[in-house]
Structure 1
Amino acid sequence: MESKLFCWILLSLLILSCFVSQTNEKMQGQTLVYLYKSRLKQNFGVDTSLFKVINHVNEANVHPQVGLKEEDRIERLPGQPLANFSQYGGYVTVHKSAGRALYYYFVEAHHSKNSLPLLLWLNGGPGCSSLAGALLELGPFRVHSDGKTLYTNKFSWNYAANVLFLESPAGVGFSYSNTTSDYDKSGDSRTAADNYVFLVNWLERFPEYKDRDFYISGESYAGHYVPQLAHTILYHNKKANKTIINLKGSIIGNAVINDETDEQGMVDYFGSHAIISDQDVYQIHKYCDFSPNATTQSRECEASYGALEDNIIDINVYNIYAPMCFSSDVTTRPKKASELCGDTIQVWRDSPSTIIPLLKEFMSSGIRVWIFSGDIDGRVPVTSTKYSINKMKLPVKIAWHPWFLNKEVGGYTQVYEGDLTFATVREAGHQVPSYQPARALSLIKHFLEGKPLH
């Protein structure tokens, strides 16, 4: 009953008529000053050696889960069409003494649930709800414009896997802590540790998935969450000298990977797409310090970024070609209940300037690594991702070429030695499965099956 109530509260505030074209105004505002102010944040630029020693996962936070699976079963969501798969939602405690618990929504596969892999999805932010991913991107249902009824998403990723959506960290969506100060201690390290504890407990609750092939996926700032969780899993598998979680691969979309090249790529994307002038691009590259060690920026840099802001303020940078939303039926902020990208978390204590070393670690460990990019996203654009991958200096295994779906180009792809695959998704914005659901489903099927795009 509790999980149904939470789902109903969320569904009641999701009116899709404008959401995708008007993604959280607060997030877009943060984009405008991303380069020259991000380096001034005290908690940015932490060295990646932080992740060479994982915070100890206290065994006291691994709890008995007997009987909890059936308590979490959702018979039917409000306004839901008939479905041929089981779904669950509920809380998993990750820190008992602090009262920290993470909320999940789980949908079993449409078919072959006993053999298809387990896929975890994480939205980014930091601070964005993964239920947005479930209901607006890749989950089994979408919300009608009346905000009251659902319809079937025929391109849901549970046609390819058993899909687990996790609200992370505590303070995001319906995940919470009874210790208010926890929200001011949020950061990459704690998120990775809590997500790992969640998985260990969840697999006790759903033991049939303990030995199942496991993959981690996500978008945007999950470019940090996904690799750090994967690293934590590998660490504990090695420490225990056994496979605790059967991790096989990770896939991240329009992902924050390497601050320096992410920022350079964003500026160049705006310039190459006729959004800012060549002069603005030149000025920013001349006067702005993109290095992760920069703590101040010149007045010339700030002035150049002011010009950039003036030119992008009236478009949606998450999809540069999307129409803006002017419907009077949609409020700027939800009137009540959980926000899709809330502001409970005001402090982020650690965010390394790059996660490239972790990607290299996975490749050397035989973990499948894919990175994809919607090619009309201006927030973490395709140029940023290409620049970041280029920093890895990997030899090309399969040269750049188009991949197809229904005889149309779905995007372009290149495979590197070490089996890192990069793929673009044509005509997709920041939330790829929202804008191009068929192409996104084809992409995830190829990834899970280990088949190259063609």
Structure 2
Amino acid sequence: MMISTHRLVPIRPSSKIICLSLAMLLFDLLNVTAQAQQDESILTKERDRVQGVLPGQPSNAQIGQYAGYVTVNASHERALFYWFMEAEGPDSMSKPLLLWLNGGPGCSSVGYGAVEEIGPLRVNKDGATLSLNQFAWTKVANLLFVESPAGVGFSYSNTSSDYAEFGDSLTALDSYAFLVGWFDRFPEYKANDFYIAGESYAGHYVPQLAQLLADMMDVSPNNLQVQFKGILIGNAVVDDALDMKGLIDYAWSHAIVSDSFYKNISSGCDFTLTSWSTECGTLVGSLFSKYRPINIYDIFSDVCVDSSSKAHSIKDLSMSFTRRGSNMSPILETMEIPNGQAGGTDPCLDDHVEMYLNRLDVQQALHANVTGIQYPWAGCSVKITKWSDSPSTILPVLKDLMARGLRVWMFSGDTDGRIPFLSSRYSTGSLELPVVKSWYPWYHNSQVAGWTEVYSNLTFATVRGAGHMVATYKPERALALFKTFIEGGTLPSFTEE
């Protein structure tokens, strides 16, 4: 029997089949990579979970918490520290998500916002234990706090030159990078309504980040996509000239300065200029010195008194702006002020928070200071030595956000002398928006909680009896204001309450 000797001719696949095969292989590789990244995000999220209760936390205070780092610049090894607290109740997953930013620039959202203002836990006077805040904003929303930029609190950069490069623009970029990384770790919150809020210099941070986020979502569907609804800013720096006018008028109207001084500074300074005369600089310095014996952040509260010397405990609550770039706004030139920005029932609360967050067991529980930062945690940064950019006004950014249909609210504690309610009134008035509901008192628990005016796409409200950190002084009224903001309503008049 003869065996055939015909050659077997290989079948050559068409180029189309080759392309399809390569595409399928690439798709499989991408799926494997995406799955690996997703698995890593899940593992990282679980590592960030705060186990049990924090040191000093009441055992019956069960709060879902996560804390850790999100890298915002891999080449510079720059990472921001966050603390996330789940909303209360069985429906917590469906409640809105709020990102809270404190100002400074250079002050900690963890040290102020989380444990002195709106978070569910408050540091007690012993600096070692915690108590529940019955008016925490977790009753309404999931809360996310981030220490930004690097050099603030536990956030860090392993590129030391970064600390001389920070300014508004880089802070916004890093905050956006943080959100991208955080939502990658917590993708289940992308479907929740998302808001950004903050106070003081966060009058820059919040609108700038909001604008960047909105721009990035518009540019490409491949960028971070969230249900971004609006912003809320309190006692906020928004316009240099109007902020300074409000500061001076408030000091005069509340008997901090004399008639003659008020006349001199009003005639001797033109705050619309980018640089001041020597005479004006001297007058501004003198204005701040008038506040030295009291708390500029709440002119009616006591200051922290050192028990050993019975003298005021002096601490610079914001960075020394003489160390910053020459283009830093003159409105932010400041002096050392009496400790006790938080005020309220504990004028030394800042010191107690600093004591608590510098405890090793607390840092370990929060997965903080993992790189062994060579300086103690502080409420406001001593690491950042320069601020490279700070626009003189944020009003155009607010206009842009309103034009996009985003909800914009501004609020002011009416006992704050640093960024007084007058400054915010001047700023909102300068926008010349149509008035929807004219100035009226709003109520909570049958008492006047403040005054408010509703414009098209903007609401401004005061909180009666509150200082710079509104939720510390008047937590119940602050929660009522926040709840109304989230619900998209208007603050109630007496007949509506």
Coarse TM-score class (shorter-chain normalised): 0.7 to 0.9
Shift of 1:306: 4.6
| Preserved CA contact (<8 Å) 1:84 1:110 | no
* Pair 1:210–1:404, CA change in 2 (3 A): same
2:204 to 182, 206, 224: 224
Shift of 1:148: 1.1
| Preserved CA contact (<8 Å) 2:304 2:313 | no
Give 5+ residue unaligned stretches, structure 2: 1-36, 316-353, 359-375, 493-497
In the alignment, which residue of structure 2 is the partner of 1:100?
A: 78
Alpha-carbon displacement from aligned partner over 1:2-51 (angstroms, at most 9, x marks no partner): xxxxxxxxxxxxxxxxxxxxxxxxxxxxxxxxxxxxxxxxxxxxxxxxxx
Q: Residues 116-155 of structure 1: matches in 2 within 5 Å?
A: 116-132=95-111, 133-155=113-135
Give the root-mean-square deviation of aligned CA atoms. Answer: 1.8
TM-score, normalized by length of structure 1? 0.83
In the alignment, which residue of structure 1 is the partner of 2:187?
A: 207
Alpha-carbon displacement from aligned partner over 1:198-250 (angstroms, at most 9, x marks no partner): 11110110111012110000000000000000001111011014771221010
In the alignment, which residue of structure 1 is the partner of 2:248?
A: 267
Alpha-carbon displacement from aligned partner over 1:372-406 (angstroms, at most 9, x marks no partner): 00000000000011111111111211000111111
- The AA in structure 2 aligned to 1:128 is C
TM-score, normalized by length of structure 2? 0.76
1:85 to 56, 63, 71: 63
* Pair 1:236–1:302, CA change in 2 (3 A): closer
In the alignment, which residue of structure 2 is the partner of 1:346?
A: 385
Are residues 1:406 and 2:445 paired?
A: yes
Q: How many residue pairs are counted as aligned between the two chains?
A: 390
- The AA in structure 2 aligned to 1:305 is V
Are residues 1:66 and 2:42 paired?
A: yes
- The AA in structure 2 aligned to 1:375 is D
CA distance in 2, matches of 1:343, 1:390: 36
| Preserved CA contact (<8 Å) 1:280 1:307 | no
- The AA in structure 2 aligned to 1:339 is A
Are residues 1:194 and 2:178 paired?
A: no
Alpha-carbon displacement from aligned partner over 1:154-189 (angstroms, at most 9, x marks no partner): 011101100000100010000000000011110111
* Pair 1:284–1:444, CA change in 2 (3 A): same
Are residues 1:250 and 2:231 paired?
A: yes
CA distance in 2, matches of 1:325, 1:83: 29
In the alignment, which residue of structure 1 is the partner of 2:400?
A: 361
- The AA in structure 1 aligned to 2:277 is Q
CA distance in 1, matches of 2:124, 2:431: 43
Are residues 1:236 and 2:275 paired?
A: no
* Pair 1:106–1:297, CA change in 2 (3 A): same
Alpha-carbon displacement from aligned partner over 1:350-390 (angstroms, at most 9, x marks no partner): 10011111111111111000000000000000001111111
Shift of 1:342: 2.1
CA distance in 1, matches of 2:178, 2:414: 33
Bigger-Rg structure (1/2): 2
CA distance in 1, matches of 2:76, 2:281: 42
**Secondary structure, counterpart of 2:459 in structure 1:** strand
Shift of 1:332: 5.3
- The AA in structure 2 aligned to 1:119 is L
Shift of 1:285: 1.4
**Secondary structure, counterpart of 2:252 in structure 1:** helix
| Preserved CA contact (<8 Å) 2:194 2:229 | yes
**Secondary structure, counterpart of 1:322 in structure 2:** coil
Give 5+ residue unaligned stretches, structure 1: 1-61
Shift of 1:427: 0.3
- The AA in structure 2 aligned to 1:367 is L
